[in-house]
């Protein structure tokens, strides 16, 4: 009964919940509320966000958050493969729209933020990541961009700003020769962006459960690599592990030395 409930919950997450989450993120990522009239404005994702989404997808695979051989495999049922491909597509567009949500819409700041994301994601591709560490890194990355755009910059260019904020904005405009000009939106845009980021992170947390893999288990990659070994090599590895685990140990000069092992 427990196994049946687990399979049912996993099917609900894979076929319904995750696609709905990522589609909602894709729709809300480009949504803004104008400062005048509070009208809804949809801003399409710039081309750079697609490049960032590709780098982020590679980082998902690099950090084992997405087990691609498990999602799309010849041993899976056709419906399962189609469902997993649909999840990957919605995840890609949701990633692009998440970047769209925290990037300034135009000007020099748009390109500064884009370069910040490109540099960070590119460096992370050559670093060691597991799923847990990757999620923490993404939360910090998107959280920093959110604070800079929707708290710092929004307060500088808000219509209800004080005299100190107006002086700071004027100084920035003078130093940058007007290249830091960003459109002003209603405070509701920040709430929409926060809700978008929260849904995206929630979807990433549910990905390991949908893939039926313990992505947070430290020995997961070791076990998977052991399964890929030829039968003869697997026997040698198991015999070596059993031999090391049964060897008696004794203390020597403040350390531990296994008896029977040659120095």
pLDDT in tens, 110-140: 888 899 999 999 988 888 877 888 888 899 9
Q: Both 188 and 253 in a single domain?
A: no
Cα gap 38→15, rounded to integer Å: 35
Cα gap 24→176, rounded to integer Å: 36
User: Is there a contact between 98 and 29 (Cβ–Cβ < 8 Å)?
Assistant: yes
CB atoms within 10 A of CB 148: 17
Sequence-ordered strand ranges (E) for 4-80: 31-33, 40-42
Domain that holds residue 250: 229-258
Q: What global pTM score does this model have?
A: 0.70
- What three-state secondary structure class fits 2? helix
Residue 9 vs residues 4, 69, 206, 259: alpha-carbon distances, Å? 9, 22, 11, 50
CB atoms within 10 A of CB 51: 16
pLDDT of residue 188: 86
Residue 103 vs residues 49, 113, 135, 142, 186: alpha-carbon distances, Å? 9, 6, 20, 10, 16
Q: Both 167 and 245 in a single domain?
A: no
Q: Both 181 and 238 in a single domain?
A: no
pLDDT of residue 254: 46
Q: Both 124 and 254 in a single domain?
A: no
160 φψ region: left (φ > 0), alpha (ψ -120 to 50), beta (else):
alpha
Query: Is 243 within a domain?
Result: yes
Q: Both 196 and 247 in a single domain?
A: no
Q: Both 196 and 240 in a single domain?
A: no
pLDDT of residue 58: 92
The DSSP element (H or E) to which 167 belongs, if any, is helix 163-176
Q: Both 70 and 117 in a single domain?
A: yes
Q: Which residues of the chain have pLDDT under 70?
A: 1, 3, 154-182, 212-235, 237-239, 243-263
Q: Both 178 and 250 in a single domain?
A: no
Query: Is 222 within a domain?
Result: no
pLDDT of residue 49: 94
pLDDT of residue 214: 47
Q: What is the number of domains present in the chain?
A: 2
Query: Is 113 within a domain?
Result: yes
pLDDT of residue 55: 94
- What three-state secondary structure class fits 39? coil
């Amino acid at each position: 009964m427990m196994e049946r409930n687990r399979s049912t919950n996993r099917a609900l997450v894979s076929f319904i919940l995750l696609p709905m989450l990522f589609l909602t993120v894709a729709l809300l990522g480009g949504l803004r509320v104008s400062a005048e009239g509070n009208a809804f404005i949809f801003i399409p994702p710039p081309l750079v966000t697609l490049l960032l989404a590709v780098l982020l997808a590679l980082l998902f695979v690099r950090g084992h958050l997405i087990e691609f051989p498990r999602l799309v495999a010849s041993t899976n049922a056709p419906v399962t493969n189609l469902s997993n491909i649909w999840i990957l597509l919605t995840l890609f567009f949701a990633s692009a729209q998440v970047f769209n949500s925290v990037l300034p819409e135009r000007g020099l700041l748009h390109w500064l933020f884009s370069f910040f994301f490109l540099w960070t994601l590119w460096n992370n591709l050559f670093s060691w990541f597991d799923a847990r560490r990757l999620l923490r890194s993404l939360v910090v990355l998107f959280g920093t961009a959110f604070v800079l755009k929707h708290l710092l910059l929004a307060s500088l260019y808000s219509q209800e700003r004080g005299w100190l904020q107006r002086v700071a904005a004027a100084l920035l405009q003078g130093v940058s020769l007007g290249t830091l000009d960003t459109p002003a939106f209603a405070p509701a845009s920040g709430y929409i962006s926060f809700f978008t980021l929260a849904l995206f992170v929630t979807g990433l947390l549910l990905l390991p459960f949908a893939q039926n893999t313990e992505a947070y288990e430290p020995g997961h990659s070791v076990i998977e690599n052991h399964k890929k070994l030829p039968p003869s090599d697997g026997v040698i590895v198991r015999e070596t592990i059993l031999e090391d685990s049964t060897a008696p140990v004794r203390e020597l000069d403040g350390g531990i030395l296994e008896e029977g092992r040659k120095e």
